[in-house]
Homo-oligomer: A and B are copies of this chain.
Amino acid sequence: MLHILFLFSLLFSSSHASVQDFCVANLKGPDTPAGYTCKSPAKVTVKDFVFSGLGVAGNTTNIIKAAVTPAFVGQFPGVNGLGISAARLDLAPGGVVPLHTHPGASELLFVVHGKILAGFISSANDVYLMTLKRGDIMVFPQGLLHFQINAGGSKAIAVVSFSSANPGLQILDFALFANNFPSPLVEKTTFLDDAQVKKLKAVLGGTG
A contacts, CB < 8 Å to B = 1, 3-8, 11-12, 14-23, 26-27, 29-38, 41, 45-47, 49-52, 54-56, 59, 61-64, 66-68, 70-76, 78-86, 88, 96, 98-99, 101-108, 110, 112, 117, 119-130, 132-145, 147, 149, 159, 161-163, 166, 168-176, 178-181, 185, 188-193, 196, 199-200, 203-205
* Known A74-B17, A163-B83: A33·B30 in contact at CB below 8 Å: no
Residue of B with least CB distance to A181 = B127
11 residue pairs of the A-B complex, CB under 8 angstroms, read: A5-B205, A15-B74, A16-B124, A23-B31, A30-B37, A46-B128, A79-B106, A83-B163, A84-B84, A117-B185, A127-B180
This chain: copies in complex: 6
Query: Do B178 and A8 have beta carbons less than 8 Å apart?
Result: yes
Among B17, B29, B46, B137, the residue within 8 A (CB) of A51 is B137
When C-beta atoms are compared, the residue in chain B nearest to A168 turns out to be B123
Which residues from chain B contact A47 at a C-beta distance below 8 Å? 130
Are A61 and B3 in contact, with the CB atoms below 8 A? yes
On whether A63 and B190 interact (CB within 8 A), knowing A31-B20, A104-B21, the answer reads no
- Flag if A67 contacts B7 (CB, 8 Å): yes
Q: Are A55 and B134 in contact (CB under 8 A)?
A: yes
Q: How far is the CB of A10 from chain B (nearest CB, A)?
A: 8
